[in-house]
Every structure is written in structure tokens, then in C-alpha cells.
Amino acid sequence: MFNIILFGPPGSGKGTQSEKLIEKYGLVHLSTGNLLRSEIDAQTPLGLEAKSLMDKGQLVPDEVVIGMISSALDANANAKGFLFDGFPRTEAQSEALDSLLKLKKSEIGVVLALEVGEEELVKRLLNRGLTSGRSDDTNESVIRARIVEYKRKTTVVADYYARFNKVKTIKGEGSVEEIFSALCSEINKRLS
């Protein structure tokens, strides 16, 4: 099993690149943002609780997302590997993920960290907000709150995996194809 974390701030291109990577490498895509939005669409109690936090640009509680990831890992027992997108987002989530993978005699192969300047992030998300229907994209103050939350709580995830020498930084500005090819070249190095 080869597992990848695609890491980076809101709007850095995690979702865009994930779609291409899962197709090329046959991985199962696990995006906690997508899983939470499905819960919101289905109007489950979990979705309703998450929505109020997501609309403010704040993280939902660790135990909620860890529970979702744990179920998703069990539901895909025969996966060739997983691509984690938007998870883990705190040190507690990172530790929980490592324990869950260990139970499956597996681990994270690499953390690919997309780097994009803050003004470019805001521009991309405001632009996406024109059509995405995502309530957290529609106004600049929520977009900026998501970036603040990322800096305060999520950058530590890269520090956590750097301790195990697993982080590779990738420039996340340029064309989607250029960035995809840089990501693939890092993955291929580790697969061969």
C-alpha cells in the first residue's frame, strides 16, 4: 500500500491535483472536506454541526474527522493506497492517522506540500465562489479566516511529518499540468 498526503492551504489545488493523481495511480481519494459536504447535503446531525463551523472558516473537531477517516479506511480494505486531501489538519489528526494506518500494517509514504502565495489563494477561491456553491468561498473574510486557521493549526502537520523526513515541498503556482508533473515525479521516485 502506498499512501500520500496532499498538503497545502485552502485553494492551493489539493482537490484539482487529487482527481488527476487518483486516476493515474489507482488510489482511493479521501477528502474530509468532501465527506463533510456530503453529510451537509444529507442533512445528518454531523453535517448540521459541521456546517456552522465550516461557514465561519473554522476546523471541525478532531474526533469528528478522525471518525470519518477511520470508517473510510475500513470501507476500503482492499485499496492499493490512499490519497489524503485536507486531512490531517492538526497534530492530533496526524497521530491518529499514523495509528490507524499502523493497525493496517501501513504508513504514510510521502507528504506533498503545495506552496501558493496568499493573495493567489484568495483570488482563486473568490473566483471559484462565483460558481462552486460553496458557502465558505463566497466572501473574502471567510476565505481569510480559513487561511488564518490553516496557519494557526495546520502548518504543524508539515512539522510533524518533517520529523520523519517525509515532506516534499512543491511549487503550487503555474499550470495544473506543470504542477501535476512535479507531483508525479516525486511519487515515482518513491515507488521505484
Q: Which does 147 bind (CB under 5 to 8 A by kind): ligand AP5, Mg ion, none?
A: none
47 near Mg ion, rule: CB under 5 A: no
88 near 97, Cβ under 8 Å? yes
80 near 26, Cβ under 8 Å? yes
Looking at 8, 9, 15, 64, which residue binds Mg ion (CB under 5 A)? 15
Q: What angle do CA 85, 153, 130 make, to 5 degrees?
A: 55
Distance of CA 169 to the CA centre of its chain: 15
Q: Are strands 28-31 and 108-115 parallel, antiparallel or unpaired?
A: unpaired
Q: Which helix (H) or strand (E) holds 17?
A: helix 14-25
Rounded to the nearest whole angstrom, what is the least distance from the CB of residue 11 to Mg ion in the complex? Answer: 8
Q: Which three cell numbers stand for residue 1?
A: 500500500
Rounded to the nearest whole angstrom, what is the least distance from the CB of residue 82 to Mg ion in the complex? Answer: 16
Q: Which does 129 bind (CB under 5 to 8 A by kind): ligand AP5, Mg ion, none?
A: none
Rounded to the nearest whole angstrom, what is the least distance from the CB of residue 18 to Mg ion in the complex? Answer: 8
Rounded to the nearest whole angstrom, what is the least distance from the CB of residue 192 to ligand AP5 in the complex? Answer: 26
Residues in contact with ligand AP5 by CB under 6 A are: 8, 10-16, 32-33, 36, 53-54, 57-60, 65, 86-87, 89, 93, 124-125, 128, 136, 146, 176, 179
Rounded Cα distance, 5 and 190, in Å: 14
Positions that interact with Mg ion (CB under 5 A): 14-15
